[in-house]
Amino acid sequence: MKSNFLQLYRFCFLIILLGQWTNTQAQDSADVANHFQQLLSAPQAKDSVLAVLDEKSADFTEKSWDSYYYHYSKFLFVTRDFEGSAEIAREGLKLYGENSMKAELAKFYNILGSIAAFSGDYKTCIEHYNQAIRLLELHKNYMGSALIKNNVANIFFSLRDYESAYKYAQSSYQYLKSVADTVHLPSITGIAAISAIKIEEQEQGSILAEEGLELSKKYNNIIGLIVGYHAKGELEQLKENYAAGVEHFQMSLELSNQYRQPHYALLNKMALLHAHLHLENYDLAVEYGQQAWEETKDQKNDNLLYSVNKNLGYAYAGQGKFEQAYGHLYDAHNQYIEVSGEETKKIINDILIKYETEEKEKELAQKKLEVAESENQIQKQNAWIILLSASLIVIVLLYFLYRNRQKQKMLRFKEQQEKKLLQYAIQGEERERKRLSYELHDGIASALTGIKLQLAQNADEESTDFSKVIEQINNLHEDTRRISHNLLPHNFEQEDLVEVIHHYCLENSSEKLRLSLSDNRNGQKTKIHPQQALILYRVFQELINNVRKHAQASSCMVQTALVADEFVLSVEDDGIGFDAKSATFQQGLKSIEERIQELDGSFEVESSPGKGTLAIIRLNFKA
């Protein structure tokens, strides 16, 4: 039984949104639109206006006819000639053909959906609304789609399908909010709030109600304020805070009366009747209930009379006026029996029709089954053969496609790895050039300057001693040979990485920094990819160079080892050490760590002030 506030909600929201959406449509013919606009202000002039338009119809274009059918249908709808409105709307559909997908058809489906809603044919109503939504979204008119979704939400609301109502209302709300709409969003936010409250989503309903009120105040949206305050009242009633609910319903009622919104006024009076009844304020309950009863009778809204009579009867009983209470409760009982009986008959008829239809379909299906049974057996066998053959072909194709994809994937991966290795090798070479530049500047250039000064000093003395000059030249020669040797690229396809590191230690060991190598591979060869070996060698050189520049060390032990399939290279000095957790360290050695990680290896550093430094590189490989 569709009672309580449901029909009232549907009537209030559906009419308003119809008007809101249709006002956003394109006006194809200003002349036709203006005539019907005048007609809305003076419905008694219908015959004369239609006569004028009939005279002009000979020159109508397709757009003019579209405007004519639309505005005429809307006029009939507003004046409650639903049958005539539907007939004209169908003429509008015929204008573009039954299978057309033009956007212009959406407004006619919207009117037909609204007419079906008022006739109680909810299935047809939702079908028309959804057709309008599909057309609007097909042509990217999401604003119109959002407003019609709100109509659908109110239909589901009237059917007590609150989950579906909330889904459509929330979809409408989310789009309007995304485009920062200021005209429709405040009121639709309130409607979404009421839907959320009806499914006992108190938190979401509270958020939406507050947001709706805030938007309505910001943009001076009266309908939004009315709906928002009513939503707040519903929320408080759900929490059984009836006194707080009365305050919100009262504010909504005052705005409804002030701005002449009788349907919302009736809605709030019914809510106040219910709230005061729970508060046992029977005098106020009777006052609001009597007003609601009279207005409901005037509107001939039988669906609301049951709820009004029932609650008003309880209110009179609370006052001790049992005669009036009995009268209203008796009327409510009769209305319940009448409506229940009609609904029961409809349900029984639907069941009988469905049963008879199913029986006929069963008989027809049985005959068809007997005729086709032998053919089906052959078809099944053929289908299995075709299916198996097709499946085999698909499996073979998929296998080859998979193999080809994996092959391409491995090639791309190998190519990417080689590019990365080349990039890091180039970066290593750049660091070596930079280091070489510093050594040339700080070593050889400084030595040459010293020799020059020594020669200039000896040239002024009578006895010339070139022993110090010769010593400096010898040192310069050693530095030049060492730098040149380190600069030469190594052919790691022919040379073993550990042997190259060993030669480096021999060539670069000096009194200032003694380099020693300990090889713990037990005679095994280290088969590392040449490009990887070059990157490891440049990282090793960079570590030794860091020891020279920063560690203040006298000796440095380099160790190599093989543990299972893991090559381990460590560099340990007896220098001053440092705080391994410092930001300076993390920044300075991050490049080395990244290069080693690209080789699928690991890089660790252990150090503390005054205790030297240990750097360890581990790299997986197949020996």
Higher pLDDT, 194 or 2: 194
Tens of pLDDT, residue by residue over 340-395, are 555 544 544 454 454 455 445 555 555 555 655 666 677 777 778 888 878 888 88
Query: In sequence order, what are the residues at sequence separation of 6 or more whose Cβ sits closer than 8 angstroms to the Cβ of residue 119?
Result: 82
pLDDT band, very low/low/confident/very high, at 180 (cuts 50, 70, 90): confident
> Quick check: is 248 in a domain?
no
Residue 199 neighbours by CB under 8 Å, 6+ apart? 162, 163, 166
Domain boundary among 358, 391, 421: 358
Greater confidence (34 vs 531) lies with 531
- Domain end point (choices 86, 116, 149): 149
pLDDT of residue 417: 65
- pLDDT at position 585 over 70: no
Which residues touch 127 (CB under 8 Å, ≥6 apart)? 113
Instruction: Give the per-residue pLDDT at 93.
Output: 87
pLDDT band of 21, cuts 50, 70, 90: very low
The arithmetic mean of pLDDT across residues 23-27, rounded, is 42
Asked if the structure places residue 287 within a domain, the reply is yes
Residue 597 domain-assigned (yes or no) = yes
Cα–Cα distance, 262 to 403 (Å, whole number): 74
What is the rounded distance in angstroms from the CA atom of residue 35 to the CA atom of residue 52? 9
- Mean pLDDT, range 410-439, rounded to an integer: 65
**Which of 137-141, 352-356, 579-583 is most confident?**
137-141
Same structural domain, 2 and 144: yes
Q: Do residues 620 and 601 touch, judged by C-beta distance below 8 A?
A: yes
In a domain, 568, yes or no: yes
For the chain, the 3-state helix, strand and coil shares in percent, each to the nearest 5, are: 75, 5, 20
What mean pLDDT do residues 486-508 have?
78
Q: Is residue 325 part of a domain?
A: yes
The count of C-alpha atoms lying within 13 angstroms of the C-alpha of 603, restricted to the half-sphere facing its C-beta, is 18
Other beta carbons less than 10 A from residue 179's beta carbon: 11
Q: Is 155 helix (H, G, I), strand (E, B) or coil?
A: helix
How much is the pLDDT for 437?
A: 59
**Closest to 229 in 3D by CA, of 218, 243, 213:** 213
Instruction: Determine what percent of the chain is predicted with pLDDT higher than 90.
Output: 12
Beta-carbon contacts of residue 28 (< 8 Å; ≥ 6 apart):
63, 64, 66, 67
Token pair, residue 463, equals 């006895």
Q: Span 538-556, mean pLDDT?
A: 91
* Distance, CA of 479 to CA of 472 (rounded, Å): 11
Angle CA(415)–CA(420)–CA(426) in degrees, nearest 5?
Answer: 125
User: Does any domain span residue 410?
Assistant: no
SS3 287: helix
Alpha carbons 151 and 53: distance in angstroms, whole number:
32
β-pair partners for 122? none
Whether 8 has a pLDDT exceeding 60, the answer reads no
Distance (Å, whole) CA 285 – CA 312: 7
CA-wise closest residue to 79 among 112, 127, 46, 121 = 46
Q: Which of 607, 553, 559, 558 is nearest to 582 (CA)?
A: 607
CA 64 to chain centre: 42
Domain span including residue 36: 1-46+61-149
Residue 378: exposure state from Cβ atoms within 10 A (0-12, 13-18, ≥19): exposed
- Cα gap 21→36, rounded to integer Å: 17
**What are the backbone angles phi and psi of residue 28, rounded to the nearest 5°?**
-75, -30
For residue 396, the model assigns a pLDDT of 80
Sign of CA dihedral 240, 244, 249, 252: negative
pLDDT given for residue 284 in this prediction: 92
The sign of the CA dihedral 124, 128, 134, 140 is: negative
Measured N-to-C along each axis, helices 105-119 and 82-94 cross at an angle, to the nearest 10 degrees, of 150
Residue with tokens 């399908």: 161
Task: State the alpha helices, DSSP H only, in 547-589.
Answer: 583-588
CA dihedral 86, 90, 91, 97 (to 10 degrees): 170
Query: Of 131, 149, 167, which residue constitutes the final position of a domain?
Result: 149
Highest-scoring range by mean pLDDT, 30-34, 322-326, 447-451: 322-326
Maximum mean pLDDT: which of 202-216, 443-457, 524-538 = 202-216
Q: What value does the mean pLDDT take over residues 169-190? A: 87
CATH of the domain at 600: 3.30.565.10
Which of the pair, 9 or 332, is modelled with greater confidence? 332
pLDDT of residue 617: 93
Amino acid type, 145: S
Q: Residue 267: inside a domain, yes or no? A: no
Give residue 248's identity as a one-letter amino acid code. H
SS3 279: coil
Give the Cβ contact number of residue 306 at 10 Å.
Answer: 22
Report the b/e string of 316-325 with b at 16+ CB within 10 A: bbbeeeeebb
Instruction: Give the pLDDT score at 308.
Output: 86
CA distance 203 to 210: 11
Residues near 299 by beta carbon (within 8 Å), at least 6 away in sequence? 266
Q: How many domains does the chain have?
A: 3
pLDDT at 34: 73
DSSP assignment of 1-55, as one string?
Answer: ---TTHHHHHHHHHHHHHHHHHTTS--S-HHHHHHHHHHHH-GGGHHHHHHHHHH
What is the domain-level CATH number for residue 294? 1.25.40
- Say which residues have a Cβ less than 8 Å from residue 501's Cβ, sequence separation at least 6: 517, 537, 540, 558, 560, 569
CA geometry: angle 592, 595, 597, nearest 5 deg:
110
The Cα 398–Cα 194 span in angstroms is: 54
Whether residue 115 lies inside any domain: the answer is yes
pLDDT mean across residues, the chain: 78
The tokens describing 236, both together, are 């408080």
Distance (Å, whole) CA 27 – CA 64: 9
